[in-house]
Structure formats: C-alpha cells, structure tokens
Chains A and B, each alone.
Chain A
Amino acid sequence: EEQLLESGGDLVQPGGSLRLSCLVSGFTFDSFCMSWVRQAPGKGLEWVSSISGTGSTTYYGDSVKGRFTIARDNSKNTLYLQMDSLRADDTAVYYCAKDRANVDPYYLDVWGQGTLVAVSS
C-alpha cells in the first residue's frame, strides 16, 4: 500500500523557518514527481511546489518562490519542504502528494494526511 507520512508542522513566529518532511512507502520513490499542496483554515487547496523524480527539476508557486525550497532524498524515501521567512498567510495544513508522472507533474494520486503549520507571534 502506498503511504505518505508528513511531519514537522509546528507553531512558528513570523520571519521564522521550518522544515517539513514526508516519508513514503509502498512504491518506488524515485520514479515519481512529488508535490506539496496547502490548505489554509476554511479555504481551498493551493499548489505550493513540485519536484521531478530525480530531483533535478523543481517548480514553485508565486506565493512561495524565493522563500520555500523543495528537495528529496531518494535514498531515504523522503520529501522535504524548507520554509523560510514565514508569514501569517503561510498558516495552513501542508499535504505531501505523489504524482503519477516522473518528470513533468500530471495529477496527484496519493496524498498524506497533512501537517499543520501555524505562523503567529
């Protein structure tokens, strides 16, 4: 069974940093793109970032570009999201999601349960 388990969510002050992790199992990790999608309280889904199977290509949404960094360690079956210069509007549940494609993102066929990031003083 394909599973994704996020961790690292926490309460952090504005301007602070946080690193999210997503440990996967049940599939060949380096064969698929991976993504982060977030959902602010009571709001809809927002695509954050994606990364190709090898990790050589990354993509970012305009609201996080320059502040967030996506990465993966294929030897550890783990996806990461380094979040710097956090703002109050980054407060959300962050979902890790597996894509069906290897190079160019396509659609998200498996999702984790999410981890909550709260940015507040």
Chain B
Amino acid sequence: SYALTQAPSLSVAPGQAARITCGGDNLETYSVHWYQQRPGQAPVVVIYDDSHRPSRIPERFSGSNSGNAATLTISRVEAGDEADYYCHVWDRDTNRGIFGGGTKLTVL
C-alpha cells in the first residue's frame, strides 16, 4: 500500500527557513496537503493541493511537489511555528486517506 515518509524531527533557529519534506513513490501525481498541529490542539490545514495557502495562513508558509517529494517551507520561522507537521494525500487508486508520520518542528 502507498506510504508517505517524513523525518521525525527538525530544529531551526528563529528567523531561519524550515523545510519539511514528505516522500512517496511518484508523489508528484498526488495532491499533497499539509497540516500543523500545535501541542494539545486539533490539526489545521496550512497548505492544500501542493502549494495553495488558506487565507488565514501567513504568507511565510509555502509548498511544492515534484518527483518523489513534497516540501513545506516556512520562511522566517517564529516560536509560534513550533508544532507537528503532517503531509496527507487521498489515494484514488485504493480510495484511502494517507498521512505521513509527522515531523516535529522545534524552534531553537
């Protein structure tokens, strides 16, 4: 079955860029979505359909998808960006939702 792979953790200094990757076989043929989950809170979508940002999400959040990897980029990282980030696709071949294992972003 299809699987998405994420690094478990990433640490970034404030003001620097964070790049969180999501790997999957031929991932560019899927629409990839990204969710932010702060401690004790429900997930929130920050990027949908590879690179689209909901209106309430800061412009510092952007996404891309090419080949076998999708990337969520957070520019000028702030303390409030510290959270778990999950990638997600809907697999139309098997009609299953799939989440990556999540990446814990720590702001140093």
> For residue B33, which residues in chain A have a CB less than 8 angstroms away from its CB?
107-108
Q: How would you classify the secondary structure of chain B's contact residues: helix, strand, loop or mixed?
A: strand
> For residue B44, which residues in chain A have a CB less than 8 angstroms away from its CB?
111
Q: Tell me if B43 is interfacial: C-beta within 8 Å of chain A.
A: yes
Q: Tell me if A87 is interfacial: C-beta within 8 Å of chain B.
A: no
Q: Provide the bound-state CA to CA distance between A104 and B91, in Å.
A: 10
Q: Provide the bound-state CA to CA distance between A113 and B99, in Å.
A: 19
Measured between C-beta atoms, what is the minimum distance from B103 to chain A in Å?
10
* B86 touching A107, Cβ below 8 Å: no
> For residue A108, which residues in chain B have a CB less than 8 angstroms away from its CB?
33, 35, 43, 45, 88
* CB nearest to B52 among chain A residues: A107
Q: Tell me if A61 is interfacial: C-beta within 8 Å of chain B.
A: yes
How many CB-defined contacts (below 8 Å) exist between A and B?
62
The one of A37, A46, A50, A109 in contact with B45, judged by C-beta atoms closer than 8 angstroms, is A109
| Count of chain B residues with a beta carbon within 8 Å of a chain A beta carbon | 25
Q: Provide the bound-state CA to CA distance between A121 and B98, in Å.
A: 31
Measured between C-beta atoms, what is the minimum distance from B9 to chain A in Å?
13
Measured between C-beta atoms, what is the minimum distance from B74 to chain A in Å?
19
Q: Give 18 A-B contacts (CB < 8 Å), ordered by A residue.
A: A44-B84, A44-B101, A45-B43, A47-B88, A47-B96, A59-B97, A61-B96, A62-B96, A95-B43, A100-B48, A105-B97, A106-B31, A107-B33, A107-B48, A107-B90, A108-B35, A108-B43, A113-B42
Residues of A within 8 A of B (CB): 35, 37, 44-47, 50, 59, 61-62, 95, 100, 104-109, 111-114
Residues of B within 8 A of A (CB): 1, 31, 33, 35, 37, 42-45, 48-49, 54, 84, 86, 88, 90, 92, 95-102
